[in-house]
Chain A
């Protein structure tokens, strides 16, 4: 099957609407960024706490917010997670001194609000050790014969059962546990006597001190910029400087648009999203290089062709692969977005956006830059300006760099 066979679309003749779209997206994103005072960082970059709490019943967000605001300083955000009785609670941390108590405070407040007056230990918070210890003596008293080893094994199985979906950490009644092999009604009775069941469970807790957050932010920015510089140098070495610059501008364009969209949709930029941004940088770069590579090859074959026509031809020649590759990768990422769950949501959103923008930028951003540059060089050549010959020399170097002999050496 073939979709694009010897196509000859005039991509570069119609750049204006696309450039306008890019400009619009960039400006909208930047405007949103400026209005909201910079990107909305996740707590890993900002400092603060994030707690994912799953409730037995549909959680009352207002009640959670009120209870927490009364006990915890700064802004408290409570965001529901769609499709689960779960909320994401974010709090701020202003000083390093609050760090030690932050977790305790959060738990105490939740306990006081949703699980008041429980003297017995909460089953949802137990690890194997605590489970074994809580039950060992009472089981003996209830004359349930279980050796220490068997009890540990049983504990492991009960907790595994509790942790696997659809329970995902939360059981509504101890009777549910009778599904675990080895759990007898007598054991369940002892559990009912000795343990309590809070109507919620903390599934994830993250805390980042403000200082570390700032440091991580800087480190991530530095690493990304340096990585871009590295790519620029490599492409400059393999092709020509202007190719490197065009590729990096295209990648920059993609990143800015994605970050802008994150700002517009009020999504947080966390470390995981950063990984996705890096992925999209790699992806967009890959896409651009494929087109550039074809241009380089055609430069050798079709010396008489006008440069802009040659670029357009190269885009057409690689169109089939561009559409197929992007389409397939896009499918993978959409699958991740749909099925990947809450933790991967921001991550996959960045990739979905990134692949669309990354594919488009190779054609409509990176390539026009090359043409613009070539036309300027051409114009300079006619008017006597000193820079032109140097650039031309460079160009003659490039195809030589692509000869198979040299590539083998590089390998």
Chain B
């Protein structure tokens, strides 16, 4: 055997070992082989089950709440400086595109206070532009640069929160990423392979989890009218009307009048967990940060005997009477199950969403369907492969073995490369595999037909093999490069599934260039070297 052939053999052996390593790692036991295989070869959502979500962050929510805060502070500042005003309102942008149009209108500022009012706005709210509508009315709009910053900040915070919530669920393989497209800066793609209770995940994601704890001014009232009637239709200054959640065994809905500014909010929460109360009912306990604990302690001390409302997502969850000073802990009662209490503690820990979420896309593949797809895909693949191998063996006799080995090695390299790159195998990916197998078969057929032709012209076996491979190589390069070119373009411009197809196909084609032209050829050369005087080639 010549040294050239030996070197080629070593290269092939090296590739096989490397592939085995990428697929199975270095297993120490039988179980580990299977475990490593599962670890390295990841199946996509469509094959193993799981959820894929695309949500849109309703940025306008953040703009509205920013305007609300500014209005509160502006009212305070004006009261301090003794500036009266007729009314203060903001508009209500309904969609993402309109978010930037947020505007606060202040009407009825006395003429002689124009100067001080303008000073307050420009000094204390430099992020806002002010324009006079007429002599006493003004409109404030968010500056363009500030609006941009607020958009960006909202998206970042929302993504962080979503990420924390998903991680809190223990879905370690999931990914949360911003979706890239021209106007898609507010879209987030969440992939959660293997999730078995997608409804719960959606519930957790869509909870805004805005927690507020504040003073109860009055209530509960059985209806909105009753509450307003108590104050002759006009709420006292700095207070707001909040509905309570209806619970089993209690009168349907009721309303509370609360202080507008809460004492502590969700941002002050240090930790939260699910636990049981003295009656064995599930609840969520939380602890406050040091700073907030001091504030809360002072407030509860001053208000012993009064009531306190725990408001979650703009609904009063409970309104207990303050018995004594409370420092750093509280609880939210009324969970119907441990899971509900645990989920609430999870979202409290992860923090509130700065804006609401809207679902744009969801794909949920149940675990049973994934299992069916894998099984059916496997049977189909196996049936196809067996048919191909049998026909190759019949048609090309002993050379069919070469082709089969090259084909198997091609598949092995493809799987190993998927494992190495951490790519996931999806249905479109399987399409890529099928085309790869088709082209691998084709390469072998091309080569063998060519060798046959060369033999027919009366060439000696080594020469026929040589020129057969040489001639077919040109064709193979052209077919492969054409497909790789198109895959590169599909990868650049296509969306998720199309990309998966392109990647798998490119890897498969590169592997095929190696197996069909190098490995298969080495096998032929080895046959010739073993038996230099062979009379006929089994092809």
Contacts and interface: CB of A to CB of B under 8 A. Distances in A.
A209 B475 contact: no
B92 interface: no
Contact of A223 (B197, B361, B364, B498): B498
Interface string A149-179: 0000000000100111101111000000000
A341 B372 contact: yes
Given A216-B495, A227-B489, A328-B441, A167 B368 contact: yes
Interface stretch (A30-38, A69-77, A95-103, A384-392): A95-103
Interface string A228-271: 11110111001000000000000000000000000000000001
Interface string A185-224: 0000000000000000111111111011001100110111
B446 to A, nearest CB: 5
A52 B364 CA distance: 10
The bracket for how many chain B residues form the interface is 35 or more
Q: Lowest 6 CB-CB distances: which A-B pairs, in order?
A: A169-B368, A127-B197, A127-B196, A332-B384, A341-B376, A275-B428
A206 B366 CA distance: 11
B435 interface: yes
User: In this complex, which of A128, A204, A209, A234 has the most chain B Cβ atoms within 10 angstroms of its Cβ?
Assistant: A204
Interface stretch (A55-63, A139-147, A283-291, A372-380): A283-291
B493 interface: yes
Contact of B367 (A103, A163, A289): A163
B455 to A, nearest CB: 11
A227 to B, nearest CB: 4
A165 B372 contact: yes
B438 A289 contact: no
B482 A133 contact: no
Contacts of A228: 486
A351 B432 CA distance: 12
A293 interface: yes
Contacts of B438: 283, 286, 325, 328-329, 332
A275 B474 contact: no
Contacts of A318: 449
A278 B373 CA distance: 21
Given A130-B197, A206-B362, A317-B453, A328 B388 contact: yes
B446 A290 contact: yes
B362 A103 contact: yes
Interface of B: 46, 54, 181, 195-200, 202, 206, 337-339, 358-369, 371-373, 375-377, 379-381, 383-385, 387-388, 391-392, 394-397, 427-428, 431-432, 434-435, 437-439, 441-442, 445-446, 449, 452-453, 456, 470-471, 473-475, 477-479, 481-483, 485-490, 492-495, 497-498, 501, 505
B385 to A, nearest CB: 7
Interface stretch (A11-19, A109-117, A304-312, A402-410): A402-410
5 contacts: A127-B200, A223-B494, A231-B485, A235-B482, A339-B383
A67 interface: no
A404 B437 CA distance: 26
A40 interface: no
Contacts of A133: 337-339
A59 B483 CA distance: 45
Contact of A204 (B369, B446, B485): B369
A324 B395 contact: yes
Contacts of A229: 489
A320 interface: yes
Given A169-B367, A289-B479, A293-B475, A125 B391 contact: no
Contacts of A207: 359, 361-363
Contacts of A333: 384, 434
Interface residues of A, number: 98
A15 B196 CA distance: 57
A249 to B, nearest CB: 15
Contact of B493 (A226, A231, A283): A226
A331 B387 contact: yes
Given A165-B375, A169-B366, A212 B54 contact: yes
A308 B253 CA distance: 87
B360 A164 contact: no
B200 A320 contact: no
A274 interface: yes
Given A203-B369, A332-B434, A351-B434, A340 B376 contact: yes
A107 B362 CA distance: 15
Given A271-B497, A290-B479, A276 B431 contact: yes
A321 interface: yes
